[in-house]
């Protein structure tokens, strides 16, 4: 994953669309004709093939209408020079040319220097509200916006949300061009998209591609991830720019790139506009983002866990832990329960549950369909507000630990100062390592039986004949289940 210190950049291979039976040459690359891929929002094209005449104007009408609402953003911030940049004495050879004031005791390096960065933004309200990335304006002392008509305006930060990398800016102007927002839940893989922004500081640029994937998570870019993946060419400076559908509607804010070199590798990510719109509304209305809070540690259900818990499939979310005093505990949810639906909508994985709850307001009433011991039940509760910091406490190694030993193949453990045993070593080629067990994990249960010491741990394992061993582990203060093939 490539990240700049000043911004994360989304970057994607250029994509060429040609009509069936035709060939086209773009630059030095010749592309063979392929059947047209049509955006799902264009109803007529869904039933009729695209002809060469349909493409005669290209996307110029959409670009002419939308591009004026995509702006260039430049920021500056003060930074202290590194110690290596502030020598206490200049070399005598150079001092004879520059004088004592540059190299003697009277010489001093400036305490601060100015750093500048470039990015992009999208006007979404005619009264001057813009969306961009948090990392584009993070720490900036000055934010300047250059409009399509070359006007340069000072912008002020209304608010930002680092957890989603979305920021809201305001310029003092009215009657500005805007990009209308789409419903990003309706996009489909294969839909045509246009990326607009300010790559390399060159100025407004448009590239074309498709939606390569949806719902990309676990990338380690943001705390809350539900990215649209696209191959529309995006480069440094495009961060905060617009990702549009074929009707010229905003479906995402370009945010990140996958690639070690920063080169165009055809894998870029955008924050869905529904998520960005939710952040913008809260920032404008409340000055900050508040999120709903359920109070569970959700985890995806692997085939091994599904088999161990006797579930029909891997759909749903396993509750690995319940926070004391949280809405989930107050409603009777327990560790080991499986959430299969929220407000009548099926929950397929932990990220879906987390994103859904986070976009709901504190105090919202929700109805959960839960499997408890294999029996389905409905649970109603009211969400709380997500705490800014949730205290976590986990078990640690005992000062008087016993010799490493374990009846679990490839795993060594020691006594814990609290409940359970601490994992001290995991063989790289073991089934435990493949399942994700790590050194420092605290094993608290074996096959739903609590363990308090090494003897309990080994006795519980000896009762396992063959198949999966279900462990409850504490990692960083939060518990989760793990199924391991022991024999």
**Cα separation, 289 vs 256, whole angstroms:** 22
Q: What are phi and psi of 378, to 5 degrees?
A: -105, 135
How many C-alpha atoms does 26 have within 13 Å on its Cβ side? 10
How far is Cα of residue 79 from the mean position of the Cα atoms in its chain? Answer: 28
Return the closest-CA partner of residue 222 out of 293, 272, 188: 272
Q: What are phi and psi of 431, to 5 degrees?
A: -65, -30
The answer to whether residues 265 and 259 touch, using CB atoms and an 8 Å cutoff, is: yes
One DSSP character per residue, 8-23 reads ------------TT--
Return the closest-CA partner of residue 226 out of 255, 197, 267: 255
The answer to whether residues 179 and 248 touch, using CB atoms and an 8 Å cutoff, is: yes
Rounded to a whole number of angstroms, the distance between the first and last alpha carbons of the chain is 37
Helix (H) or strand (E) holding 120: strand 113-125
Structure tokens, 348: 């397929």
Locus of tokens 């009729």: 48
**Cα separation, 481 vs 483, whole angstroms:** 7
Return the closest-CA partner of residue 40 out of 182, 179, 186: 186
| Catalytic residue annotation | 135, 165, 239
How far is Cα of residue 277 from the mean position of the Cα atoms in its chain? Answer: 16
Q: What are phi and psi of 216, to 5 degrees?
A: -70, 125
The answer to whether residues 40 and 186 touch, using CB atoms and an 8 Å cutoff, is: yes
Structure tokens, 80: 């202290």
One DSSP character per residue, 128-139 reads TEEEE-HHHHTT
Sequence-separated (6 or more) residues with CB below 8 Å from residue 378: 367, 368, 369, 370
One DSSP character per residue, 48-69 reads S---GGGGTTTTHHHHHHHGGG
**Cα separation, 211 vs 12, whole angstroms:** 11
Helix (H) or strand (E) holding 46: helix 43-47
């Amino acid at each position: 994953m490539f990240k700049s210190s000043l911004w994360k950049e989304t970057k994607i291979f250029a994509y060429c669309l040609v009509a069936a039976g035709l060939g086209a040459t773009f630059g030095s690359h010749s592309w063979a004709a392929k059947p047209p891929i049509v955006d799902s929002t264009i109803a007529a094209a869904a039933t009729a093939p695209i002809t060469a005449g349909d493409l005669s104007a290209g996307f110029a009408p959409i670009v002419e209408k939308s591009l004026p609402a995509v702006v260039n953003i430049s920021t500056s911030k003060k930074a202290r020079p590194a110690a290596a940049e502030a020598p206490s004495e200049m070399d005598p050879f150079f001092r004879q040319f520059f004088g004592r004031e540059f190299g003697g005791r009277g010489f001093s390096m400036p305490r601060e220097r100015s750093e500048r960065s470039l990015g992009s933004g999208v006007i979404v309200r005619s009264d001057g509200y813009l969306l961009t990335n948090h990392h584009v304006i993070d720490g900036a002392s000055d934010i300047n916006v250059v409009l399509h008509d070359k006007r340069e305006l000072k912008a002020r930060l209304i608010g930002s949300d680092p957890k989603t990398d979305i920021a809201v800016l305001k310029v003092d102007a009215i009657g500005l061009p805007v990009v209308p927002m789409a419903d990003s839940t309706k996009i489909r893989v294969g839909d045509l998209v246009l990326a607009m922004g300010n790559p390399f500081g060159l100025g407004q640029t448009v590239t074309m591609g498709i939606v390569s994937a949806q719902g990309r998570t676990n990338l380690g870019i943001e705390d809350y991830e539900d990215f649209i993946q696209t191959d529309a060419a995006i480069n440094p400076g495009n961060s905060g720019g617009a990702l549009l559908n074929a009707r010229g509607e905003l479906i995402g804010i370009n945010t990140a790139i996958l690639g070690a070199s920063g080169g165009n590798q055809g894998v870029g990510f955008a924050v869905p506009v529904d998520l960005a719109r939710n952040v913008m509304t809260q920032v404008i209305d409340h000055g900050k983002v508040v999120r709903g809070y359920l109070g569970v540690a959700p985890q995806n259900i692997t085939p091994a866990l599904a088999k161990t818990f006797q579930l029909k499939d891997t759909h749903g979310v396993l509750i690995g832990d319940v926070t004391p005093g949280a809405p989930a505990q107050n409603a009777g949810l327990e560790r080991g329960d499986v959430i299969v639906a929220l407000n009548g909508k099926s929950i397929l994985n932990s990220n879906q549950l987390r994103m859904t709850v986070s976009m709901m307001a504190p105090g919202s009433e929700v109805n959960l369909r839960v499997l408890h011991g294999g029996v389905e039940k409905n649970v109603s509760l009211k969400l709380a507000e997500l705490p800014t910091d949730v205290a976590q406490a986990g078990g640690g190694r005992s000062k008087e630990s016993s010799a490493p030993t374990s009846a679990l193949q490839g795993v060594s453990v020691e006594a814990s100062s609290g409940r359970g045993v601490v994992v001290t070593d995991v063989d790289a080629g073991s089934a435990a390592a493949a399942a994700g067990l790590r050194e420092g994990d605290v094993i608290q249960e074996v096959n739903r039986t609590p363990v308090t010491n090494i003897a309990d741990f080994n006795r519980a394992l000896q009762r396992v004949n063959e198949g999966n061993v279900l462990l409850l582990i504490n990692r960083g203060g939060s518990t989760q289940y793990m199924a391991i093939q022991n024999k």
